[in-house]
Structure 1
Amino acid sequence: MNGQERLAQQSKEWLVAALFDLLSEQPYDTITVTQIAEQAQLSRRTFYRAFRDKDDLLDYYDREVGQRYLVALQQIAPQQLRFKDVLTYFFEFWWQERERIRVLIAQGLFSRMLAKITPMASEIYRVFPAPWHIDGSPTETDYIMSFATGGFWNVLNRWLVQDKPESPAKMAALLMAGLKRLGETDKDK
């Protein structure tokens, strides 16, 4: 990455930070590109070099955080992990983003983010073939991944909206215990 590319990337990061600062203070619908640029201490021209509008900026953040999660998952050796490890990792990753996620939830923008990230689930399955993933038809796999992804995002939403959310490790333990009980109940029938 050359100097100009680094500066462009830094400008995008400042614009994202500025958007979230403003989202903490006022409704998304009332925020203008001018406000975002001023908050970032950049010109409107710099904003428009990077983004079409504030929706494009928010979409950029959504894709970027999803991509970071995917890249981070790729660094893990999936064959050596237990499901609890992956749950813990999931909660630890999103814990680092909790302030921004809480802002998105408060603004009613969390589901918009999920719409950008959810299609990445099949990509995650492709690059992260963990031992507990099902072997099935592409249709079956797609539905199971959609089911699991929806569950994870709903838990994430419920968890981070709280004033004092549990730790990532506690969340992983809670989910593991609940899933184990569900599996035991299913065996009893």
Structure 2
Amino acid sequence: MNNITKSEKWILEALLKIMTTKPYDKIKIKEIASLADLNTRTFYRHFKTKDDVLKLYGRQLSIELSNKILEKSPCFKTIILDYFEFLNEHIEFLNLLLKHNMLHFLYDNLDSFMTEVAFIVKPHLKNQDIDTKTLYQFYFNIGGFFYITTKWLKSNPRLSKEEMASIILDMFS
């Protein structure tokens, strides 16, 4: 995890651990800080709420996904494959959100997460200007990816990244 302090990392790890056994709405800041072996003052020095902890993690995931996409050619199929591979790498976190009926958290924060992605990806685009039409198309596609991701997460068994790429590419052909 890039650009986060040790305390923030410990707080995040503590929150995720508690989420495995306790409903999110019942988790108290004091128990997060205690499990992280910190005091509540340290928690509040870094975060206002436990949602802020998840937002930090979401931003870190956005940065990681952006960098993963930029490592390879920006072919749409490659992006889809990387996206679903990335989801598999973070399936425990996504399953926690699903368990707590919190997938909406991803959607509610999608705009800020995508801003992180755009900030990283934009310097690599040939055309630096993004017109209004392209922006709306981008958000339309992001919404579609969110709902496809939700369906994929809830499916048992889950389709492979190759199967998902095929389905998505078929929609655009």
RMSD: 2.7
Give the C-alpha shift of residue 166 in structure 1: 2.2
Give the C-alpha shift of residue 28 in structure 1: 1.4
* Structure showing greater Rg: 1
Q: Which residue of 2 aligns with 1:21?
A: 17
The answer to whether the Cα contact below 8 Å between 1:19 and 1:36 also exists between their aligned partners in 2 is yes
Query: What are the ranges of 5 or more consecutive residues in structure 2 without an aligned counterpart?
Result: none
Pairing partner for 1:156 from 149, 153, 164: 149
Residue-by-residue CA offset, 1:52-76 (whole Å, 9 max, x unaligned): 2212212211222112222322333
Percent of paired sites with the same residue: 28
Whole-Å separation in 2 of the counterparts to 1:127 and 1:24: 39
Whole-Å separation in 2 of the counterparts to 1:170 and 1:43: 47
Whole-Å separation in 1 of the counterparts to 2:124 and 2:147: 21
Whole-Å separation in 1 of the counterparts to 2:156 and 2:31: 29
Q: Normalising to structure 1: TM-score of the pair?
A: 0.75
Give the C-alpha shift of residue 137 in structure 1: 7.0
Bigger Cα displacement from structure 2, 144-153 vs 22-31: 22-31
Q: Does structure 1 residue 32 correspond to structure 2 residue 28?
A: yes
Residue-by-residue CA offset, 1:21-75 (whole Å, 9 max, x unaligned): 2222222111101111122233223222221221221221122211222232233
Q: Normalising to structure 2: TM-score of the pair?
A: 0.81
Query: What are the ranges of 5 or more consecutive residues in structure 1 without an aligned counterpart?
Result: 1-5, 184-189
Q: Secondary structure at the match of 2:58?
A: helix
Q: Which residue of 2 aligns with 1:47?
A: 43
Runs of 4+ with >4 A deviation: none
Whole-Å separation in 2 of the counterparts to 1:9 and 1:125: 24
The answer to whether the Cα contact below 8 Å between 2:70 and 2:121 also exists between their aligned partners in 1 is no
Q: Which residue of 2 aligns with 1:99?
A: 92
Whole-Å separation in 2 of the counterparts to 1:86 and 1:45: 41
The answer to whether the Cα contact below 8 Å between 1:91 and 1:168 also exists between their aligned partners in 2 is yes
The answer to whether the Cα contact below 8 Å between 1:66 and 1:117 also exists between their aligned partners in 2 is no
Q: Which residue of 1 aligns with 2:131?
A: 138
Q: Which residue of 2 aligns with 1:165?
A: 158
